[in-house]
Structure 1
Amino acid sequence: MTHLARPRTRARRWAGRLAGLTAVSLLLGLAAPVTSATAATEAETADVTDGLALWYKLDAASGSTVTDASGNGRDGTVSGTADWSGTGQGLAFNGSDTYVKVPNDVMKGMTSITVSTDVLIDAAQTTPYFIYGFGNSSGSNGNGYLFTTGNSLRTSIATGNWSTEQTTKPSDAHNLTRAVWKHLTYTQTGSTAVLYEDGVEVGRNTAVTITPGAIGSGTTTANYIGKSVYSGDKLLKGRVRDFRVYDRALDASEVERLSLPVATQGVADDKAALDLGDTGAVTADLDLPKTGTAGGSAISWASDNTAAVSDTGKVTRPAAGEPNAHATLTATLKKGTVTDTRTFEVTVLPDFDDQA
């Protein structure tokens, strides 16, 4: 191709897991007690079901049938290896033969649409690839479709091949972070399309002229999760869960609600994993992580004594013979709209006295 594309457990049910993660994090290194992640209210975490056209929770234990929980009877079928291992981890896509065939004509009659999913892209994913693609193929090419990819992150809608694509993407053209769970949502109504990453808007296109229902005049037979409508593209390698299609454009608050479980768990996992080593006798600059390794959270740092340890981890030791210096480093973790903090107590030893 010549162009560059757990069942859902509501956030309120993450409370027990977060408490356990907090307990674990208290035991790491010399860190001070941590604060719990930003709590979501019952109203904020109420599920969004109005307008569901298709809902694949992807929470089966076995088999090749993907049940449609929307009540519309649009069950899908796993083609190739159906790996359901890992509780709450959705369906695994092996990158070689696994994909989900979605029933024909899934977008028929739609003038507006939302596609929302949790996805984990494997670090070994090859490109180009689709996370999902709904539309038609003609020979080896796509011929009218809607798709999302992570390299670079974008969603496009087209009436023909790639040259007809109308694309919604981030201004910085970044790739979707791999090896961590991400939440993606695309909404389209009228001439406006919006792309969200972890519940936060990252791209907007106000000049879209193609409606989902216009693709193939409503007839679409190449509707897939984990497979492209272009035969030369790669299959998805990773995991997908809680895949939803709505016949309306969700608003920003609804999108945020859907993203909360992934964002909350990501921040909690990163908080528990954050480790600066032994901070009780520091003599060299500290390496302060900027990205969480477990959940992909962005991490910023602040010091209450920059004369001893700067916000970037640069250490200034007291002169020989002076007392130890002390600083509290506060890490702020953020994923989507969820934030949390963790503090580390640092003791900086004075310079050695060469004359001693």
Structure 2
Amino acid sequence: MNFKKSLTLAVAAIALTASLGTAQAAGKRDSFRIAWTIYAGWIPWDYVKTSGIMDKWADKYDIDVEIVQINDYIESINQYTTGQFDGVVATSMDALSIPAASGVDTTALIVGDYSNGNDGIVSKDAKSVAELEGETINLVQLSVSHYLLARALEQNGLAEPDVNLVNTSDADIVAAFQGNTVRTVVTWNPLLSTVAETPGSHEIFDSSQIPGHIKDLTLVNTETLKVNPALGKALVGAWYEMMADLGADTAKGREVRAYLGEASGTDREGYEAQLDGMKMFYTPGAAIEFISSDQAYEAMDSVRQFSFEKGLLGEGAASADFVGIEFPGDRILGDESNLNLRFDTTYMQMAADDAL
């Protein structure tokens, strides 16, 4: 997949059809569709579906919620943005640069986790980030890997012009690194674990050194949520029922993690290793505390600055302030008149208060 091309097309073309998606979103409804793609922080939606937890909570509110797996991550966000889905899973950077930048008012209904080691830089030559100067680095450009590299360079007195970037598909990056030509890569798990096992390689930086910057979210269309609060209640209720088991050191918890490991192409131990590379918010209270913090606010400010610098906010963006981003406590980054990304804790607070 050409990530740069996908994002460019998304911001340019999707903006033309965003109004159609908004029109579809409006109105009281009883049937909804949520898209997800495979990643350790999002694959729990598969268990929510197959276990019957989603049906249980949907029935409680007299609605139907279809949880749909999409194999192409960017395409799933594109489809959400054009109104084919009512919600989607995405990182905070992609939530900003695709639906929000395209004019689709989007709410981060669930803040599931942030990467805390699941994204990293691995090199056969450099033993520190400082030693990357002049090196060629393979990565999916304009992805969270690119963002991670930018922050790593910045923290070590370097900048992008000090290195040479080669855009490489995530489908090709492991094989490329296992050959002789590619010397340094930036990627995410489970690919990260695989490349780090290559003899003679060194993992020299990971996302635990920029905590809170790569957030994993469940997004819903803001207008849909406003008119249909039952959707928010059912999704959040189902998610935290599942999370209570996922994070438990019990037979049930191990059963859930084994299921998700197999669904991810590994096993329970493999999936648990991926969870170790994430700061999981197993309770709504933990998620609320994080997203209400200065840490989350400042991290998102960094993400939006990077997104603007790379042209990910679209041709109409004169500055990083183009898209307004709302946080709990009425804190806003960017244009208040163009609020299109909202970290709304209303429904997570209901879950914390046992009010769903």
Tell me the TM-score normalized by structure 1.
0.25
Q: Which has the larger Rg?
A: 1
Give the structure with the higher percent helix. Answer: 2
Structure number with higher strand proportion: 1
Greater relative contact order structure (CA < 8 Å, 6+ sep): 2
